[in-house]
Amino acid sequence: MQRPRTPSRISESLHRQLNSYALAASAAGVGVLALAQPAEGKIVYTPVHHVIGKNGHYKLHLVHNKITDLTLVNSYGCNQYYCHDVLSAVPSAGNGVLGRYSLAYALASGSQIGSEQPFMGRLMELSSGSIGSYGQWGNVYNRYLGIRFNLKNKTHYGWARLNVQLPGYYLVRATLTGYAYETIPNKSIITGKTKGPDVITLRDASLGHLARGASAMQAWRVRESK
**Structural contact between residues 59 and 68, judged by C-beta atoms closer than 8 angstroms:** yes
Q: pLDDT tens for residues 174-195? A: 999 999 999 999 999 999 999 9
**Structural contact between residues 154 and 186, judged by C-beta atoms closer than 8 angstroms:** yes
**Structural contact between residues 61 and 147, judged by C-beta atoms closer than 8 angstroms:** no
State yes or no: pLDDT of 4 exceeds 80.
Answer: no
pLDDT at 20: 53
pLDDT at 33: 30
d(CA 199, CA 19): 42
**Structural contact between residues 172 and 125, judged by C-beta atoms closer than 8 angstroms:** yes
pLDDT at 185: 97
For residues 85-114, average pLDDT: 97
Helix or strand holding residue 84 (H, E)? strand 83-91
* Of the candidates 75, 155, 87, 172, the residue with the CA atom closest to the CA atom of residue 119: 155
* Of the candidates 53, 44, 76, 96, the residue with the CA atom closest to the CA atom of residue 202: 44
State yes or no: pLDDT of 215 exceeds 90.
Answer: no
State yes or no: pLDDT of 32 exceeds 50.
Answer: no
d(CA 42, CA 197): 9
pLDDT band per the 50, 70, 90 thresholds, residue 30: very low
pLDDT at 136: 97
Q: Helix (H, G, I), strand (E, B), or coil: what is residue 113?
A: strand
| Longest Cα separation, the chain | 114
Higher pLDDT, 218 or 77: 77
Global pTM value? 0.75
Q: Helix (H, G, I), strand (E, B), or coil: what is residue 15?
A: helix
Q: pLDDT tens for residues 135-167? A: 999 999 999 999 999 999 999 999 999 999 999
Higher pLDDT, 16 or 34: 16
d(CA 68, CA 63): 9
The mean of the pLDDT values for the chain is: 82
**Structural contact between residues 193 and 112, judged by C-beta atoms closer than 8 angstroms:** no
State yes or no: pLDDT of 22 exceeds 80.
Answer: no
Burial class from Cβ neighbours inside 10 Å (0-12, 13-18, 19+) for residue 94 reads: exposed
Q: pLDDT tens for residues 45-97? A: 999 999 999 999 999 999 999 999 999 999 999 999 999 999 999 999 999 99
Helix ranges (DSSP H) in the chain: 12-36, 207-212, 217-220
Instruction: Average the pLDDT over each of 9-13, 17-21, 130-134, 216-220 and give the range with the smallest value.
Output: 216-220
pLDDT at 133: 94
| DSSP letter, residue 4 | P
Beta strand pairing call for 99-104 and 119-128: parallel
Helix or strand holding residue 96 (H, E)? strand 96-97
pLDDT at 169: 85
Q: What percent of the chain has pLDDT over 90?
A: 69
